[in-house]
A and B are shown apart, each in its own frame.
Chain A
């Protein structure tokens, strides 16, 4: 493990980036110099430097503080949405792979239909239905992007269920649920962890895109995508409003992507030797 970390630069850089974002999110009230909704119109559109390190937006709110608080929202979106995705996807995948037959056909059919609709479009449709808001955003993203988890869990289950220890567990009378939980799920946690990490990056990205389109988190919450969409109107006058939230977004997504790629190399020894 230690040797792997020292050899895999992407993994170490990625985890460092993710840790920084988590610290920003957890300690936001301590780190941020101002409140995220603290407006002072006298200071509106202040350029970076001076009292406001990254400048202020059109309402005179401190951009740095809003970005730090924004880490909370983006992390929450990424983690909660991905948790829902995993619960749905892994459950369906385990059931489809282990039980097979008609159920497998039905679940795979559903997955194919889901795959034919782009996630962003589907999430937009669900958001229209539920109305804007943070919790609805978790649900919309959680209901629409579970196909990766489902396919991974299914294919892992298909190969694991032929293993001797599964037959042994069945022979001593374990219930299906116990076999799935103790013997199959615990043996495919590696690939699922990879999908989960990469999926957090996806969820943050799509959540921000919905915010940018005006369908995600609502003002005065300081969500990065929403900040970008407001900053767009001031691109000429105050380009910093667009620049910095976007950088924060790139930093976070890049972190999760590098971490996920690194985990993939770690959990997949075949890939590791090939590289």
Chain B
């Protein structure tokens, strides 16, 4: 188990390196000279060639791209993400402020989605073909087709503006009142996907011979449902939880704009609009890392849930 974990972890390293190269390359060919922009901003529009040259030298922008990449990677490994081109702030400090917001949002939505989706899919499979099944599957198709930024706005309109129950946006220290709507909005599509997979995966198992055997030998229906049907349909559910989490992490960007949450996604959008390359690189990398770590956890869970899967 441990060797598998280590080996699987090592397999992520090439992926992360290639991803970091792609991100760095994309960002290094961006039009617009950050030193020029910063110098222009500092001097309120009057541009000073000497100041620009100093900034370029200080930030190492005069070096060739491979050298800059290696230096960036070296700093990254030592846990130093550099500093913002626009504000001069250490990115580590910025992230320390922003990361808890996004993490809280993501974890809360994953919890809502996994619990809600599994329960919904479970009920739909047990009552296959009934009105309960049809309506929960309608909900699931709707969840895939409704854009988060619209359902979020509609929830604000209904719950916050018309009913006046919850705040319309903002972080507010991350209490449940502020996080409930964003987490619900973000988790809805993910929940729908999990519900669909749970249902079809359970229906695959439900007609197997060993289920009939379990019933025939007189096991209580609840035990058959839970221990025989549900446990044997967990693997595809787990796979979809890992695969589709990328959508969830990426859409924190959209949700944070809708609910004006000061998280990583918000940071990413503002850094794009301001051409703040180091901040862009850092926030994209964080999103990718979050996605990869969740998939790592899923890989480890496979063997725990299905003893037939061997790691060596």
- A residues with a Cβ closer than 8 A to B are 10, 109, 112-113, 115-121, 124-126, 128-129, 131, 201, 205, 208-209, 212-215, 225, 228-229, 231-232, 235-236, 239, 242-243, 246, 249-250, 253-254, 257-258, 261
Contacts and interface: CB of A to CB of B under 8 A. Distances in A.
Nearest to B277: A128
Contact of A128 (B15, B153, B280, B287): B280
A126 B18 CA distance: 16
B268 interface: yes
Contacts of B188: none
B232 interface: no
A224 B142 CA distance: 18
A116 B291 contact: yes
Contacts of B254: 120, 209, 212-213
A261 B254 CA distance: 27
A229 B150 CA distance: 9
Given A121-B284, A213-B253, A116 B15 contact: yes
Contacts of A112: 15
A118 B291 contact: yes
A188 to B, nearest CB: 22
10 closest A-B pairs by CB: A246-B150, A118-B250, A254-B145, A120-B250, A118-B246, A253-B145, A212-B149, A113-B18, A242-B153, A121-B250
17 contacts: A109-B18, A113-B15, A117-B284, A120-B250, A125-B284, A128-B275, A129-B31, A205-B147, A212-B257, A229-B149, A235-B161, A235-B168, A236-B161, A254-B141, A254-B145, A257-B141, A257-B144
Nearest to B141: A257
Contacts of B246: 115-119
Contact of A243 (B31, B154, B253, B272): B154
B157 interface: yes
**Chain A at the B interface: SS class:** helix
Interface of B: 15, 18-19, 22-23, 26-27, 29-31, 141-142, 144-150, 153-154, 156-157, 161, 168, 246-247, 249-251, 253-254, 257-258, 268-269, 272-273, 275, 280, 284, 287-288, 291-292
A10 B154 CA distance: 26
Contacts of B157: 235, 239, 242-243
A232 B150 contact: no
**Chain B at the A interface: SS class:** helix
Contacts of B161: 235-236, 239
A254 B30 contact: no
Given A115-B246, A208-B147, 13 more contacts: A113-B18, A117-B246, A118-B287, A121-B287, A124-B253, A124-B272, A125-B284, A129-B29, A213-B257, A232-B153, A243-B157, A258-B141, A261-B141
Contacts of A239: 157, 161
Nearest to A236: B161
Contacts of B250: 118-121
B142 A121 contact: no
Contacts of B15: 112-113, 116
A258 B140 CA distance: 12
A121 B280 contact: no
Contacts of A126: 26
B22 A113 contact: yes
A129 B287 contact: no
A249 B144 CA distance: 12
B60 to A, nearest CB: 21
A74 to B, nearest CB: 11
Contacts of A232: 153, 258
Nearest to A198: B144
A121 B18 CA distance: 16
